[in-house]
With several copies, the nearest count.
Chain A
């Protein structure tokens, strides 16, 4: 049998097997008539290992044999195949986020003062982990509390060019639940302003913008 054929069979077997394959296991795929030596299989493995250079996968030898595996470098993207969504954020978190956006730079104590209740550390952690808020400085008072502000990622997520595109506090106070008017919003999301819906300029069309990559969960 030609070396190229041996290499292709070894390659396909390694990809098809559910576990790592040892040299004897690979040799067992061939019959006497194929006249395949262990050296030829070793050569195949060497060739395949080299062939992975510059690819998203690699051929490695582990304790129980050879296997193809996903390279570490691309793992963060591949891992999204098994991602799952967490449950919705609490009202407390949304209030905290909104206050940071509108009153930044603001300390946790100041947020608590407006909300009238404490802000749990986990809420701040979640917002920091999501990279929507960060510490921008410290207030020069006893305890030197951290001052929080919003980030560029926060603006990007809500498709805003700047915070000015958020409605003013005065406007927010007047909004009624069903029809939240948001003049600046239309400017922020030109795509959302469908020609068929002229009132899109004045109504919130955010959901379509804010959740684009949440709709296709590969898991």
Chain B
């Protein structure tokens, strides 16, 4: 693990960053893909084309990423960065980029200034009485590095989540008939009643239709009875009653029969007193044809 002695040993010295030497690389990770081939290591004795170096530069997501790399490469604790050494390595890297005449994002230069500032503050002798109050000059940088690192890690974690297209796809079956079904509109009962009220008002004005008060269940039953008689045959009076409905049901059916007769929709026949009563619809679908 990281110890302070390791951190000062020249295990990863600046020559790393000089063109022609081993370029920065993240552990065993390929630095970049050049024409589909992973670049793990830059050949030491070969000329590096500037665009290849550019690819390497692009392997870093900015100065925080580069700093993290420099720290991690040496197994240093992020809370305990040897600023002087890291600054030197960072500057070497920037210098190399300059030497290659590569366009360097302004953020890299801003970070260089921040590092230089921290280094100078660490070198300044601290007044003894202020020692306990003064914050570690590295604190803000350490906080930013950690904050960046946690989201760098979060991005890696998100990348490992099983995701559509790469790790799975939706499973679908063909639907032979995909035409859109038209659903009827919803109807509000209140709306229907208001419509009826308007009709009634109009009917009242024209004056020739008087609507009396009557139980609607009788009207409903009238339709039901008519349907049963729809075959045009004679039906026994008793067969139209449903004993399970109780007395009220019997009354409703009876009243509906009277209404139907009054409205000349049915015929009621009895051959002789006390003989069976038969009913028949006066008109049926067949007769209508």
- Is the pair B220, A94 in contact by a Cβ cutoff of 8 Å? no
Cα(A170)–Cα(B153), bound, Å: 8
Instruction: Given A72-B167, A159-B168, A167-B158, answer yes or no on A98-B223 (Cβ-Cβ < 8 Å).
Output: no
A215 CB → nearest B CB, Å: 7
Chain B's closest residue to A141 (CB) is B283
Say whether B174 faces chain A, with CB atoms less than 8 Å apart: yes
Cα(A116)–Cα(B135), bound, Å: 22
- Is the pair B192, A88 in contact by a Cβ cutoff of 8 Å? no
Cα(A206)–Cα(B186), bound, Å: 12
- Is the pair A150, B223 in contact by a Cβ cutoff of 8 Å? yes
Cα(A139)–Cα(B191), bound, Å: 30
Cα(A182)–Cα(B134), bound, Å: 11
Instruction: Given A117-B107, A219-B59, answer yes or no on A57-B173 (Cβ-Cβ < 8 Å).
Output: yes
**Could you say which of B136, B158, B222 contacts A97, with CB atoms under 8 Å apart?**
B158
Instruction: Given A101-B158, A117-B63, answer yes or no on A137-B148 (Cβ-Cβ < 8 Å).
Output: no
Residue of B8, B182, B223 ringed by the most chain A CB atoms within 10 A:
B223
- Is the pair B26, A147 in contact by a Cβ cutoff of 8 Å? no
- Is the pair B283, A149 in contact by a Cβ cutoff of 8 Å? no
Residue of B3, B155, B164, B213 ringed by the most chain A CB atoms within 10 A:
B155
B159 CB → nearest A CB, Å: 5
Q: How many residues of A contact B (CB 8 A)?
A: 107
- Is the pair B175, A197 in contact by a Cβ cutoff of 8 Å? no
Say whether A190 faces chain B, with CB atoms less than 8 Å apart: yes
Cα(A214)–Cα(B21), bound, Å: 23
Say whether A118 faces chain B, with CB atoms less than 8 Å apart: yes
**Could you say which of B184, B196, B217, B288 contacts A172, with CB atoms under 8 Å apart?**
B196
Cα(A171)–Cα(B136), bound, Å: 20
- Is the pair B201, A118 in contact by a Cβ cutoff of 8 Å? no
Say whether B238 faces chain A, with CB atoms less than 8 Å apart: no
Cα(A219)–Cα(B178), bound, Å: 12
Query: What residues of chain B lie closer than 8 Å to A130, measured between beta carbons?
Result: 184
Say whether B236 faces chain A, with CB atoms less than 8 Å apart: no
Contact with B along A177-207 (1 / 0, CB 8 A): 1111110111110100100110011011011
Query: What residues of chain A lie closer than 8 Å to B201, measured between beta carbons?
Result: 173
Say whether B274 faces chain A, with CB atoms less than 8 Å apart: no
Say whether B160 faces chain A, with CB atoms less than 8 Å apart: yes
Contact with A along B157-171 (1 / 0, CB 8 A): 111111111111111
Say whether B177 faces chain A, with CB atoms less than 8 Å apart: yes
**Could you say which of B193, B216, B229, B287 contacts A164, with CB atoms under 8 Å apart?**
B216
Say whether B262 faces chain A, with CB atoms less than 8 Å apart: no
Query: What residues of chain A lie closer than 8 Å to B33, measured between beta carbons?
Result: 217, 219
A131 CB → nearest B CB, Å: 10
Name A56-112 residues within 8 Å CB distance of B.
57, 67-72, 75, 78-80, 82-89, 91-92, 94-95, 97-99, 101-105
Say whether B47 faces chain A, with CB atoms less than 8 Å apart: no
A145 CB → nearest B CB, Å: 8
Residue of A150, A163, A171 ringed by the most chain B CB atoms within 10 A:
A163
Query: What residues of chain B lie closer than 8 Å to A185, measured between beta carbons?
Result: 80-83, 122, 138, 189
Query: What residues of chain A lie closer than 8 Å to B143, measured between beta carbons?
Result: 172
Query: What residues of chain A lie closer than 8 Å to B287, measured between beta carbons?
Result: 138, 144
Name the 5 nearest CB pairs between A and B, nearest first: A149-B223, A117-B62, A137-B226, A140-B282, A15-B171
Given contacts A72-B176, A79-B169, A169-B150, 19 further A-B contacts (CB under 8 A): A79-B179, A86-B184, A116-B64, A116-B111, A118-B107, A137-B230, A144-B288, A150-B223, A156-B164, A159-B164, A163-B217, A166-B158, A169-B196, A172-B143, A172-B196, A187-B7, A187-B8, A204-B75, A216-B159
* Residue positions of B touching A, CB distance < 8 A: 1-5, 7-8, 26-27, 29-30, 32-33, 38, 55, 58-59, 61-65, 68, 72, 75, 77-84, 105, 107, 111, 122, 131-132, 134-136, 138-139, 142-144, 146-204, 206, 209, 211-213, 215-217, 219-220, 222-224, 226-227, 229-230, 264-265, 281-285, 287-288
15 A–B contacts, CB within 8 A, in A order: A16-B175, A57-B171, A79-B177, A94-B156, A99-B196, A114-B144, A126-B184, A137-B226, A137-B283, A150-B223, A168-B213, A171-B150, A175-B142, A177-B194, A180-B190
